[in-house]
């Protein structure tokens, strides 16, 4: 028996899932879906949210669909109007190739993550650091150092 999916927005897991849903609903992700030939984009977004909930909480997609149909709060949190049937989600996800899914994720991450600039100035603090290597306080004369082989 699975635990019910009750939303607690103070819980870090639900807060992270909310941020992921905001990214999935963004225009950039829809553009990446279109680039990877995942169509229709709006339906794919809804189905991707259902799959993400299932992956996030380690439950079956059919259980997530049942919870979405039974819990209005969960539907509001996921910002979903109509919930697709379980077999439609499985059929739709089976059309993905691994290359399409990896391309979607890497394209989304490259758009979201900040790119590093090429002509940035990096300041390096080159002040000298006083380093005491004589831990045992043996007195070493300068003449002894000149005779040693390093």
Taking only the tens place, the pLDDT of each residue in 71-120 is 999 999 999 888 999 999 988 888 888 888 788 888 887 777 766 666 66
Answer yes or no: are the C-beta atoms of 34 and 41 closer than 8 Å. yes
User: For residue 20, what are the contacts with CB-CB under 8 A and spacing of at least 6?
Assistant: 52
Answer yes or no: are the C-beta atoms of 24 and 48 closer than 8 Å. yes
Q: Which residue has the tokens 């590093």?
A: 116
Give the C-alpha distances (Å, rounded to integers) separating 127 from 16, 121, 124, 132: 42, 18, 9, 16
Pairwise pLDDT comparison (145 vs 53), residue with the higher score:
53
pTM for the full predicted model: 0.69
Give the C-alpha distances (Å, rounded to integers) separating 146 from 138, 140, 143: 16, 11, 5
């Amino acid at each position: 028996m699975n635990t019910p999916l009750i939303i607690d927005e103070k819980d870090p897991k639900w807060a992270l899932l909310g941020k992921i849903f905001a990214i999935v609903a963004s225009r950039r992700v829809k553009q990446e879906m279109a680039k990877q030939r995942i169509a229709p984009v709006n339906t794919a977004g809804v189905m991707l949210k259902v799959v993400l909930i299932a992956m996030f909480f380690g439950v079956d997609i059919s259980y997530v669909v049942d919870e979405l149909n039974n819990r209005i709060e969960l539907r509001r949190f996921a910002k979903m109007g109509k919930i697709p049937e379980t077999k439609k989600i499985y059929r739709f996800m089976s059309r993905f190739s691994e290359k399409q899914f990896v391309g979607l994720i890497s394209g989304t991450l490259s758009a979201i993550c900040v790119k590093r600039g090429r002509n940035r100035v990096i300041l390096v603090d080159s002040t000298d650091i006083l380093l005491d290597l004589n831990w045992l306080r043996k007195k070493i004369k300068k003449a002894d150092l000149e005779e040693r082989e390093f």
